[in-house]
Chains A and B, each alone.
Chain A
Amino acid sequence: MTDVASPTVRVSTRPAESRRDIGIKRRYAAERRFRAYGISAIVIGLFFLAVLVWSVVSKGYTAFQQTTITLPIEFSEKVIDPKNERATDPKQLQTANYPVLARDALVKRLGIDPKKRPLVKQANDMVSDSVRTQLRDIVVADPSVIGKTIPVTLLADANIDSAFKGQIDLTVEESKRKVKDQQVAWMNELAEAGVLKKSFNTGIFSFGASSRPEAAGVGVALVGSAYMMLIVLVLSLPIGVAASIYLEEFAPKNRLTDLIEVNINNLAAVPSIVYGLLGLAVFVNFAGMPRSAALVGGLVLTLMTLPTIIIATRAALKAVPPSIRSAALGLGASKMQTIFHHVLPLAMPGILTGTIIGLAHALGETAPLLLIGMVAFVVDYPGSPLEPSTALPVQIYMWANEAERAFVERTSGAIIILLIFLVIMNLGAILLRRRFERRW
C-alpha cells in the first residue's frame, strides 16, 4: 500500500481566522509517533537478530582454530613393548602406555628434570589426553616406527588452548584458574620456538563425541544428519508430491478431502516434540526399530516435513495456469499425461524451493530426536542408518549442557557450522526461485 500518495495536507503558514481548529498539530504528532513505533519495532527485531548472530560468532569463531604442539616423539621400544611380545600378543600394541611417550618428549623439550614429579605432571597436563589414541593409531598402522623418532603434531589441552587464544584472564590469582603460571611460561617459550602454534582446526569437522573439548567434533553428527536428510528427501519428496497432485488435481470436493485438507494444515502446526512421541511409540516400541538409529530419526523428520512440502507443492501446482492443462487435454493427452508431462515440470521450481526449506527446517530440528534416543555418546562413524548415531543439533544440545568453558566455544562453532548449512540451503532455494520463477 506504499504507492498510495501520502496525504499532502499543507498547513497554511498564514493564520486563517475562519479556519476551525481541528487539532492538526496534535494529529500530526500522533502520526509521527505511530511511525516511530513502527520503525523502532523493526529496528528492535533486527537488533535482536544482530545480537544473536554476533553472540554466536564472537564466541564461536575461535573454535575453528586449534593450538597444537609439534614434538619429536621417540617411539621407544622400552615403553611400547618392553617384553618384545608384539609378534605373539596383538593386544600389546593396543594397550601400551602411549601418553608416556608424549610426556617424555615434552619434558625433554622443556628441559625439566624428570625426577621433579609436580613439574612433570604440569607439563603433561599441557597435552591433550587424546594423544593415547593418536599415537596408538600411528604405531598400529605402521609398527616399524618403533625405535624411531618422528615429529608428531599433538593437540594441546583445552585449557592451554584457551589460554593461548587469550580467553583466560591471567590476572586472576593462580590457584583460581586452571592454567598455572609455569604452564603459561612454557607455553610462551614453546610458542616463540614455533613448536606450539594455532592452526586451522580440521578436527571439529572430523572428530566424534568426546568428553575432552579439544578432541570433540561434529564429524559423526554430520554423518548422522546426512543420513537423516537423505531419508527425508527420498521419502518426503515423492510422497509429498504425489499427495499434493491427488489433492490438487484429482480429489473430488467432498467431506473426506476437506478433512484431509484441514488435517494437513493442522499437522504443519503440531509441536515437533509430539512427532518425537509418535516416533517413539510407533517406530521404536511398536515396530521394534533400533533406538538412536538415523533411520527412525529420518522417518520422524519425514512425517514432520511432509505437511510443509505438501502445502508448498499445492501452491506451486495452483500457480500453473489452467490454459496449460486445457492445451494438453485438447491435444489428446490423458489427465495423467497432462499433469506428469506438463504441469509438474512447470511447478518443479516451486516444489523444490518448498522441499529445500522443509529440509532446512528438518536439519535444525532437535526435540523429536531427543525422544527417540539420539542423545547418545557416539564416538564412531555410523556405518549404516541402522546404527546408533547422533545429529548436528543434538550434538549442540549435548555440548550446551557441558560445564567446561571450552565447550562453549565448541558449541558456538558447531552452531556456526549448522547456520552455514542452513544459509547455503536457503540461498539455494532463493536462487532457484529467482532463476526459474515464472509469472504467467
Chain B
Amino acid sequence: MSTSLLLLIIALIGIGAYFAGRARSLTRSGNKLATLHSLPGYHGSYVAIWAVLPALLVLAGWLIASPIYIDSAVRSTLPDAVQSQGDATVQLALGQVKAVATGLNRLDATEIETIKDGSANLRETLAARGVALAGEGQPFMVEAAERFNAMRLYSRWLMSAVVLLVAIAGGLYAIRNVTARFRARNQVERVMLGSLVVASSIAILTTIGIIGSMLSEAGRFFSMVSPAEFFFGTVWDPRFAAAGSEGASGQFGLLPLLGGTLYIAFVAMAFAVPIGLFAAIYMAEYASPRLRSIAKPLLEVLAGIPTIVYGFFALVTVGPFLRDISAQLNGLITGNYQNFIQAQSVLTAGIVMGIMLIPFVSSLSDDIITQVPRALRDGSLGLGATRSETVKKVILPAALPGIVGALLLTASRAVGETMIVVLAAGVAARMQINPFEPMTTVTVKIVHQLTGDLEFTSPQTLVAFALGITLFVITLALNIYALYIVRKYREQYE
C-alpha cells in the first residue's frame, strides 16, 4: 500500500471519526444540547484527533526508521570480502544493491531467472529498463537486492497494518470516552495549544539547523584544512581536483574574500548613508504630508526590487557606463582613450548595492527620527534655533544610537548581499585597494564553489560551509548588536 493511499485512508477514518463522535455526543445527551459540556463539534474533533494523530506519528516514525533498519540489515549480509574493505566500499556496494533492487522490480520472473543463472548480463538488462548501474554488478548483489526488496515489501505491509490498527484503536478508545459531561473542548484546545507551540519552535529549529549543519560541514572542512590556514591565509586558489584524484588541494585563504566583502560593503554604505540619511531627515522634518505620502513609498519600491534585477542593472548598464566614461575622462586628460574603471569592479558593485540600500537607510532612520519626542523639537525651536540647527544639534544627537543601530542593520545586509556582487564584482580573489578593479566576496565564492555537479567530500565544496558560517557569524553579530541598540533606544523614549 503506498504512503499516499495510506494517508488518504487515515483522512477518511478521521472524517468518519468526527461524525461518529459528534453523533455519539448527541445521543449520549439525549439530543439536549444544554446537558453537554462541550459542543458536539468538539466531541467530533476529539475523536478525530485520537484517530488521526497517533496514526500519523507512527507512520512518520516508521518512514524514518525503517530505511535505516533495512539498510543496516542488508549491509550486515554483504559478503565479508566487501565488508573488510572499509566504509566507503560498503556504502558504494549498498548503493549498487539499491539500484539493482529498483531494477529487479521492473523485470519479470523469467528475466530474473536468466540473470541469476548468469546467461544475461545484469548491467545491460537493467540499462534496457532505464536503471543505470555504476559499475558491473556482482552475483551477491542480486541476492542482497532480492532480500532488500522482500524486506521493503514486508515493512510496507506491516506499516500499513500497524498504522490502520492504531487509527482504529485510537478512534474507538476516544469514542468510548464521549459522555455528556466529558470535557472534550478542553482536550481539543490542549492539542491546539500543543500545535501552536510546535509551530513556534520551528523558528528555533531553523537556527539550530543553520548552525548545526554549517558547523558539521565546516568541521569536515577544517579536518582537511587547518583553521589557521583558512582564517589567516592571504591566497585564495581552490584548485578543483579531478574526481577521485588526491593531492591537489589548493589554498583556501579567507582574507582576500573578506577584504573584498568589506570593501564593497564600505563603498555601498558610503554611497547609501548620506543619501538615505538626508532623505530621511527631509522626509521626517520638512516634507509636507503630501510629498511624504508620494516620495516615501516610491523610495521603498527600491527595496522591493529583487537583487537579481540590480545585478543585471549593474552588469549591462552601470558597469559599461562607468567603463566608457572613464575612457572618455582618460582621453580628455591624457589623450589616451583607455578605460581605468573595469566594467566589473568594486565601484560598480558598491554603487549599485548602495542604490539598493538607500531605502533601508531612509526608512529605518525615518522611524528613528520621528520617535524623538516632540518636546525636544519644540524646546529647540522655541529658543530660536532654525530647523536645520534643531536637526543638527538636538534631534540627531538624540537619535544617534538608533541611527547607528539602523546603519549596522544595513551594513549586515550589504555584507550578506549575493546576486549583485555575483554579477558585478568579478571573480578574481585578490587583495588590493583600487576601487576601479574587480574584487570578489565571500558570497560570490559560496555560489561558485557550490554550483554545478559536486561531491560533498572534497574541501573545494566544503569550504563553502566554512565561508557560510563566517558570514553567518559576522551578520549575526551585527544584527544582535544593532537590535540591542535599537531596543534600548526605543525604551528610552517610550
Cross-interface CB contact of B282 among A35, A243, A276, cutoff 8 Å = A35
Segment among B164-172, B338-346, B414-422 that sits at the interface with chain A: B414-422
Query: What is the CB-to-nearest-CB distance from B211 to chain A, in angstroms, rounded to a whole number?
Result: 9
Contact with A along B74-102 (1 / 0, CB 8 A): 00000000000000000000000000000
Residue total for A at the interface (Cβ-Cβ under 8 A): 93
Any A CB within 8 A of the CB of B456: yes
Point out the residues of chain B lying under 8 angstroms from A266, CB to CB. 207, 476, 479-480, 483
Which B residues between 291 and 332 are near A, CB-CB below 8 angstroms? Answer: 292, 295, 298-299, 301-302, 304-313, 315-317
Any A CB within 8 A of the CB of B14: no
Q: Are B480 and A52 in contact (CB under 8 A)?
A: no
Q: Are B306 and A365 in contact (CB under 8 A)?
A: yes
Beyond contacts A42-B299, A371-B450: 7 other A-B pairs, Cβ-Cβ < 8 A, are A38-B278, A45-B362, A260-B203, A274-B210, A277-B210, A418-B306, A422-B306
Report the Cα distance A335→B188, complex, angstroms: 13
Query: What is the CB-to-nearest-CB distance from B99 to chain A, in angstroms, rounded to a whole number?
Result: 15
Any A CB within 8 A of the CB of B386: yes
Point out the residues of chain A lying under 8 angstroms from B315, CB to CB. 400
Cross-interface CB contact of B207 among A51, A263, A310, A422, cutoff 8 Å = A263
Q: Given A246-B196, A274-B472, A307 and B203 touching (CB < 8 A)?
A: yes
Q: Are B299 and A46 in contact (CB under 8 A)?
A: yes
Q: Are A262 and B203 in contact (CB under 8 A)?
A: no
Contact with B along A347-387 (1 / 0, CB 8 A): 00000000000001101111100110101000000000000
Segment among A25-33, A142-150, A186-194 that sits at the interface with chain B: A25-33
By beta carbon, the residue of chain B nearest A415 is: B309
Q: Are B480 and A364 in contact (CB under 8 A)?
A: no
Report the Cα distance A240→B362, complex, angstroms: 28
Any B CB within 8 A of the CB of A331: no
Query: What is the CB-to-nearest-CB distance from B203 to chain A, in angstroms, rounded to a whole number?
Result: 5
Report the Cα distance A56→B317, complex, angstroms: 9
Report the Cα distance A371→B465, complex, angstroms: 11
Q: Given A266-B483, A334-B189, A336-B193, A277 and B214 touching (CB < 8 A)?
A: yes
Any A CB within 8 A of the CB of B202: yes
Any A CB within 8 A of the CB of B139: no
Point out the residues of chain A lying under 8 angstroms from B409, CB to CB. 269
Segment among B26-34, B48-56, B370-378 that sits at the interface with chain A: B370-378
Which interface residue of B195, B313, B362 has the most chain A CB atoms within 10 A? B313
Q: Given A46-B299, A247-B200, A277 and B308 touching (CB < 8 A)?
A: no
Any B CB within 8 A of the CB of A282: yes
Query: What is the CB-to-nearest-CB distance from A168 to chain B, in angstroms, rounded to a whole number?
Result: 17
Q: Are B196 and A245 in contact (CB under 8 A)?
A: yes
By beta carbon, the residue of chain B nearest A264 is: B203
Point out the residues of chain B lying under 8 angstroms from A280, CB to CB. 450
Report the Cα distance A161→B378, complex, angstroms: 65
Q: Are A2 and B287 in contact (CB under 8 A)?
A: yes
Which interface residue of A240, A251, A334, A397 has the most chain B CB atoms within 10 A? A397
Segment among B108-116, B233-241, B387-395, B430-438 that sits at the interface with chain A: B387-395
Any A CB within 8 A of the CB of B447: yes
By beta carbon, the residue of chain B nearest A59 is: B316
Q: Are B206 and A267 in contact (CB under 8 A)?
A: yes
Q: Are A422 and B304 in contact (CB under 8 A)?
A: yes
Q: Are B295 and A41 in contact (CB under 8 A)?
A: no
Q: Are B279 and A45 in contact (CB under 8 A)?
A: yes
Q: Given A247-B200, A278-B213, A282-B213, A1 and B284 touching (CB < 8 A)?
A: yes
Report the Cα distance A272→B479, complex, angstroms: 14
Point out the residues of chain B lying under 8 angstroms from A44, CB to CB. 275
Any B CB within 8 A of the CB of A34: yes
Q: Are A281 and B203 in contact (CB under 8 A)?
A: no
Binding site secondary structure of chain A:
helix
Point out the residues of chain A lying under 8 angstroms from B217, CB to CB. 281
Q: Are B282 and A42 in contact (CB under 8 A)?
A: yes
Q: Are A370 and B451 in contact (CB under 8 A)?
A: yes
| Chain B interfacial positions (CB closer than 8 Å to A) | 185, 189, 192-193, 195-204, 206-207, 209-210, 213-214, 216-217, 274-279, 281-289, 292, 295, 298-299, 301-302, 304-313, 315-317, 355, 358-359, 362, 370, 374, 377-378, 381, 384, 386-389, 391-392, 409, 412-413, 415-419, 422-423, 443, 446-447, 450-451, 456, 464-465, 468, 471-472, 475-476, 479-480, 483
16 of the cross-chain contacts (CB-CB < 8 Å) are: A2-B288, A41-B275, A44-B275, A46-B299, A243-B200, A246-B193, A260-B203, A271-B412, A271-B472, A274-B468, A335-B189, A360-B304, A366-B418, A367-B443, A393-B308, A418-B306
Query: What is the CB-to-nearest-CB distance from B377 to chain A, in angstroms, rounded to a whole number?
Result: 6
Point out the residues of chain A lying under 8 angstroms from B377, CB to CB. 1, 4
Query: What is the CB-to-nearest-CB distance from B3 to chain A, in angstroms, rounded to a whole number?
Result: 14
Point out the residues of chain B lying under 8 angstroms from A52, CB to CB. 302, 305, 309-310, 313, 355
Q: Are B196 and A242 in contact (CB under 8 A)?
A: yes
Report the Cα distance A245→B413, complex, angstroms: 29
Q: Are A1 and B416 in contact (CB under 8 A)?
A: no
Q: Are A2 and B289 in contact (CB under 8 A)?
A: yes
Q: Are B199 and A239 in contact (CB under 8 A)?
A: yes
Any B CB within 8 A of the CB of A39: yes
Point out the residues of chain B lying under 8 angstroms from A6, CB to CB. 387
Which interface residue of B276, B306, B450 has the most chain A CB atoms within 10 A? B306
Any B CB within 8 A of the CB of A71: no
Any B CB within 8 A of the CB of A440: no
Point out the residues of chain B lying under 8 angstroms from A93, CB to CB. none
Point out the residues of chain B lying under 8 angstroms from A260, CB to CB. 200-201, 203-204
Q: Are B286 and A285 in contact (CB under 8 A)?
A: no
Report the Cα distance A269→B292, complex, angstroms: 27
Q: Are A366 and B287 in contact (CB under 8 A)?
A: no
Q: Are A419 and B309 in contact (CB under 8 A)?
A: yes
Q: Are B304 and A426 in contact (CB under 8 A)?
A: yes
Point out the residues of chain A lying under 8 angstroms from B311, CB to CB. 397, 400
Q: Are B316 and A246 in contact (CB under 8 A)?
A: no
Point out the residues of chain A lying under 8 angstroms from B388, CB to CB. 30-31, 33-35
Query: What is the CB-to-nearest-CB distance from B451 to chain A, in angstroms, rounded to a whole number?
Result: 6
Point out the residues of chain A lying under 8 angstroms from B447, CB to CB. 273, 367, 370-371
Q: Are B381 and A7 in contact (CB under 8 A)?
A: yes
Any B CB within 8 A of the CB of A49: yes
Q: Are B443 and A271 in contact (CB under 8 A)?
A: yes
By beta carbon, the residue of chain B nearest A33 is: B388
